[in-house]
């Protein structure tokens, strides 16, 4: 049995087990029977009898766990796309400035206290998303002006420069505003606490649509991993494909970061681990990156909730603490294999 087939068989029960553990564990443990009763009652449109337990499960834990899974899947798929697109194992969505753009948009709204009447609490994520997409668009525009073929090295260089520039703007604005600075710092750390159902309702359709589009472009991605010249020889419109793929990454990462803050390392470590497990083919890489990334993020958020309970750690710190050693071990193993 191939590794990919074995991973496919195990993915569903592992995902269910991880989500179940995350729903049960916490400062107030809840039994699996209570969780199933609450979900079943809500599915039938009924109000559960046990008020406190129903509130914990339906209003707090279930949206938080689902949001963590969706965010992990989105970031992991984005990382897999960028690593293949730029032919660089250290590439990530942050390479093209998406995270910096989202931070700037959300930061300006937080520091100014702006709240649009027709958006309300969605003002911050909408502003972050729009700035993230605009930053990625600028990266592509500048890259195309420098290099009409949009080589990966050009995109990386322009993305890094623009990210530094955008971060400098946010730093300067933050230094001039002290009242809301603490809120901005907390947002940038990344968290799924008290986000509710709205982010789930927004991000899940984006994840499904974007991942499906990336999967439809799996053959183009497979060809481009061998180089742009080889891909063009096979009839792949590399420039148009790169624009679409960068757009997918911008939508996935920009929307995710705008709702939950900056969460790093998952988009680097998980796609690399999945690539070594199921191979470089995107037919398996894209769906398994989503599954593994979602499970990893749920576990990281669970650790953030229970490690120093009742203190809720920033999930971005947990992913970095776990992801950095995992990433180092992956590359150490690869280096030993080449010796």
Q: In this prediction, what percent of the chain has a pLDDT beyond 90?
A: 22
Residue 39 confidence (pLDDT)? 82
Any alpha helices (H) in the chain, and if so which ranges?
Answer: 3-24, 32-43, 51-54, 62-85, 98-112, 123-146, 152-175, 181-189, 198-216, 218-224, 228-233, 238-260, 266-278, 282-306, 315-338
DSSP string, 55-75: IIIIIIIHHHHHHHHHHHHHH
Contact 222, 281 (CB under 8 A): yes
Rounded CA-CA distance 217/239 in Å is: 13
How does pLDDT run across 248-264, given as a tens digit for each residue? 998 898 889 888 988 88
How does pLDDT run across 220-234, given as a tens digit for each residue? 999 988 888 888 888
Q: Mean of the pLDDT values across residues 190-219?
A: 91
Q: Mean of the pLDDT values across residues 206-233?
A: 90
How does pLDDT run across 296-338, given as a tens digit for each residue? 999 999 998 888 777 788 898 888 887 777 767 766 665 555 4
Q: Note if the bond before 198 is cis, omega within 30 degrees.
A: no
Contact 105, 132 (CB under 8 A): yes
Between 320 and 192, the higher pLDDT residue: 192
Residue carrying the six token digits 């505003």: 177
Which residue ranges make up each domain of the chain?
Answer: 3-332
For the cut 50, the answer to whether the pLDDT of residue 339 exceeds it is no
Rounded CA-CA distance 288/39 in Å is: 27
The residues with which 308 forms a beta bridge, in sequence order, are 311
The residues with which 311 forms a beta bridge, in sequence order, are 308
Q: Mean of the pLDDT values across residues 165-179?
A: 82
Task: Please state, rounded to an integer, the average pLDDT across all residues of the chain.
Answer: 84
Q: Is 272 helix (H, G, I), strand (E, B) or coil?
A: helix
Q: Mean of the pLDDT values across residues 266-272?
A: 87
Tokens of 101: 């753009």
Residue carrying the six token digits 């559960």: 48
* CATH domain 3-332 topology: ABC transporter involved in vitamin B12 uptake, BtuC (1.10.3470)
C-alpha distance across the termini of the chain, in Å: 28
Q: In this prediction, what percent of the chain has a pLDDT beyond 70?
A: 92
For the cut 50, the answer to whether the pLDDT of residue 41 exceeds it is yes
Q: Mean of the pLDDT values across residues 82-91?
A: 83
Between 157 and 335, the higher pLDDT residue: 157
Rounded CA-CA distance 20/29 in Å is: 12
Best CA proximity match to 62, nearest among 307, 311, 298: 298
pLDDT band at 49 (very low <50, low <70, confident <90, very high): low
Residue 335 confidence (pLDDT)? 54
Residue 336 confidence (pLDDT)? 58
How does 204-216 read in b/e, with b if 16+ C-beta sit within 10 Å?
Answer: bebbeebbeebbe
* CA dihedral sign of residues 192, 134, 122, 206: negative
For the cut 50, the answer to whether the pLDDT of residue 291 exceeds it is yes
For the cut 70, the answer to whether the pLDDT of residue 75 exceeds it is yes
* CA dihedral sign of residues 26, 29, 33, 34: negative
For the cut 90, the answer to whether the pLDDT of residue 217 exceeds it is yes
Query: What's the burial of 316, exposed, middle or buried (CB within 10 Å: 0-12/13-18/19+)?
Result: buried
Q: Kindly state the DSSP code that residue 95 receives in the 8-state scheme.
A: G
């Amino acid at each position: 049995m191939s590794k990919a087939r074995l991973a496919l068989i195990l993915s569903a029960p592992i995902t269910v087990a991880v989500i179940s553990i995350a729903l049960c564990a916490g400062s107030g443990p809840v039994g699996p029977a209570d969780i199933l009763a609450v979900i079943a009652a809500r599915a039938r449109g009924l109000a559960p009898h046990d008020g406190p337990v129903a509130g914990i499960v339906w209003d707090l834990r279930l949206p938080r766990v689902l949001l963590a899974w969706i965010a992990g899947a989105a970031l992991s798929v984005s990382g897999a796309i960028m690593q293949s697109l730029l032919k660089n194992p250290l590439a990530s969505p942050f390479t093209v400035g998406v995270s910096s753009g989202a931070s700037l948009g959300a930061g300006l709204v937080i520091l100014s206290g702006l709240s649009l009447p027709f958006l309300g609490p969605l003002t911050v994520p909408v502003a972050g998303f729009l700035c993230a997409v605009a930053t990625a668009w600028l990266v592509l525009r500048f890259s195309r002006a420098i290099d009409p073929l949009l080589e990966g090295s050009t995109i990386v260089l322009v993305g890094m420069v623009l990210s530094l520039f955008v971060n400098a703007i946010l730093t300067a604005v933050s230094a001039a505003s002290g009242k809301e600075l603490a809120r901005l710092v907390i947002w940038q750390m990344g968290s799924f606490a008290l986000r509710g159902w709205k982010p789930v309702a927004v991000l899940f359709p984006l994840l499904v649509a974007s991942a499906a589009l990336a999967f439809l472009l799996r053959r183009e991605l497979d060809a481009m991993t061998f180089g742009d010249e080889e891909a063009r020889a096979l009839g792949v419109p590399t420039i148009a494909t790169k624009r679409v793929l960068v757009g997918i990454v911008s939508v996935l990462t920009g929307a995710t970061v705008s709702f939950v803050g900056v969460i790093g390392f998952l988009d680097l470590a998980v796609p690399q681990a999945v690539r070594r497990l199921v191979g470089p083919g995107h037919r398996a890489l894209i769906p398994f990156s989503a599954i593994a990334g979602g499970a990893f993020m749920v576990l990281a958020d669970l650790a953030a909730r229970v490690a120093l309970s009742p203190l809720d750690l920033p999930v971005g710190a947990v992913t970095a603490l776990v992801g950095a050693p995992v990433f180092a071990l992956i590359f150490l193993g690869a280096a030993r294999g080449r010796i």
